[in-house]
Structures are given as C-alpha cells and as structure tokens.
Copies of this chain bind each other. A is one copy, B any other.
Amino acid sequence: MTHPRLPMPVLLATLLAASPAIAQGPEEESPARAPTAQEILDASPDSDWREPDPENTLYMELEGGRVVIELAPGFAPEHVDNIRTLAREGFWDGLSIYRAQDNFVVQFGDPAAEGEDRKPLGSARESLPAEFERAGAGLDFVPLPDVDGWAHQAGFVDGFPAARAADGTTWLAHCYGMVGAGRGMAPDSSNGSELYVVIGQAPRQLDRNITTVGRVIDGIELLSATPRGPEPMGFYEDPSRRIPIRSVRLASEVPAHERTGLELLRTDSATFAAATEARRNRSDDWYHVPAGHIDLCNVPLPAREH
C-alpha cells in the first residue's frame, strides 16, 4: 500500500487475506511459513494466465464505468449466440438496470420486456431451449477436494465455478458475479435479453433451474453497489431511478486499443491449485484457526491487468 496506513489495531487490515488482488500479511521475513496465496500468484508463470476470447467477452458501459462479462458458450451455446446477436445489434443500448435485490441479484435489459412497447429483439430469437446443465463428456472439470452440500462435486471448468452430479452432468454454479438469463415459468422462456448478476450469498438453489451464461470478470462493484430497488424483488418502478446502460458490446467489436486488458488465472493451473490451498489453510499470522476448508464460491478467480 502506498498511502499512509489506516488504523491498524482495531481495523481489519489483515483481513486483506480474504481479498484476492492485494498483497497481504506482515512484511517481516518468516521463512518457515508457507507462502500466501498472493505470494503464489506473484510467482506464477505467464503461461498460467489467459486472455478471455473477445468473441466471448461483453462490455457493458455505464456512467460509472465498464462491466466486463465473460460468456460461457461451453455451457449455454444458444444463449451466448443470441447474446452476441443482441450485442451486435445494440439491443441493450439505452436500456437499464431495473432491478437490484439485496443479497440476491441485479438485473438489466428492457424493463418493458413484458409489455406491448417492448424493444424488438431484432435478429435475435424470442425464446431458447433451457441450457441449465450439460453432459460432462469433453469438459475439463478440475474438482475441489472440499465437500459441497449442493452437488456431488464442486470445481472449475475453464475459469467458471461449476458442479456436477455423480453421473457427470455438469452445470455452472450460482456464485457471486455469475450471470444468468432470466426466465418465466417455462424452462424455455429465456432469450438472454434480460440478464441477472449474483450480488449476494450464492443462491445455489438456482443451479440446474435456470440458464447461466457467464461471469462478471471486472467492474462488478458498478453493479453490486446499485441502490436496492424499493419495489418487491428490488424492482424500480420509477424509471428515473433505473441505471441507464450506454451500450453493451462484444469486445471483438471494440477497437483493440479501447479494450480492457485483462488476464485470468487458468483454473487448471498448478498456481490456481496452490493459491486455493493457501486460502484453505491460511498461513499468515493473523489467522489462529485455519479453516481447513474452502467453499466453491469463496475461491477467488484471480484477474490481472496486462
């Protein structure tokens, strides 16, 4: 930290250890202790990092800045295809964030989607098949050793938190920052135009019940700090309280020099496994009782600028 330290003895400064992107712990040498997660990340080879594919990356431009979403075509190919079409045709431009429900989700798209004055979807499809889960064949599933109460096994696939059943059926897990496609009662009633982002305790009960399309990889604080909506379920009836969306674009359609330079740690790398183990059993001096456990949705998915 380059600024004067804030109050220490009564502060959470060392809770830092819970934060993925910041150097942590005391500065003194302590050769006997195991490396912290940050030290492991700092020592990682470049080959353990990847750039998200611009064809799978959405930029949502808000007044406060840019939210970056990585799409998951491996799990929701038809939704991702529709989302690409909607972005190319500027569907979300001028629409809004119209819902913020505390400890649950922020949702954006067309607040009039149900009405007669809804915005046309252009070339995009009106409804899509449910893509709640998929067969495990062909997936590189990196399991966590930790018990998961919601599934047979929890782990990661290509940078996304995921879970699977004993028969290999696999789905994306509703962790903080995950993005899904709102739907009505019918499983095939979503089209990807109305998207929600998890901003609270992981609502894993939604797993296998709705199509998850990706994950916020940068700028989630622009969504999670949205004032909660006053109406039931956090909706804003008052249009003036909705948060305007300037545009949503595929990164591939944005000039290279305007793209967000982000690299994500590969979840199938040795660095990721070691950093997760360091968080499972904290070695910095602040902790007196290492948990010996980590929950799928507590595992940081490190990102860095490049």
Which positions in A face B, CB cutoff 8 Å? 1, 3, 5-16, 18-19, 22, 26, 98-105, 107, 109-115, 118, 127, 132, 146-150, 175-177, 181-187, 189-191, 193-194, 196, 200-210, 220-221, 224-228, 231-233, 235, 237, 279, 282, 285-291, 293-295, 297-298
Q: Could you say how many copies of this chain the assembly holds?
A: 2
A296 to B224, CA, bound (A): 22
Q: Which 9 A-B pairs have the closest CB atoms?
A: A7-B114, A7-B113, A9-B184, A221-B228, A208-B289, A10-B194, A12-B182, A102-B221, A149-B293
Q: Point out the residues of chain B lying under 8 angstroms from A146, CB to CB.
A: 149
A-B CB contact pairs (8 Å), 5 listed: A6-B235, A10-B189, A103-B224, A147-B149, A150-B293
Besides A6-B114, A14-B184, A103-B177, 18 new A-B residue pairs in contact (Cβ under 8 A), listed by A number: A7-B110, A7-B113, A9-B127, A9-B189, A10-B191, A12-B194, A12-B196, A13-B233, A18-B104, A102-B225, A148-B149, A187-B288, A201-B202, A203-B298, A204-B293, A205-B282, A207-B289, A209-B286
Flag if B228 contacts A11 (CB, 8 Å): no
Shortest CB-to-CB span from A174 to chain B, Å, is 10
Chain B residues within 8 Å of A110, by CB: 7
**Separation of A145 and B103 alpha carbons in the complex (Å):** 24
B contact residues around A237 at 8 Å (CB): 3
Q: CA of A112 to CA of B7 in the docked complex: distance in angstroms?
A: 6
Bound-complex Cα distance A294 to B202 (A): 11
Complex interface: chain B residues within 8 A of A288 (CB): 132, 187, 208-209
Beta-carbon nearest neighbor of A228 in chain B: B221
Q: Are B182 and A10 in contact (CB under 8 A)?
A: yes
Query: Which residues on the B side are within 8 Å of A98 (C-beta)?
Result: 6
Contacts of A114 in B (CB 8 A): 5-11
Give chain B residues whose Cβ lies under 8 Å from the Cβ of A16.
Answer: 232-233
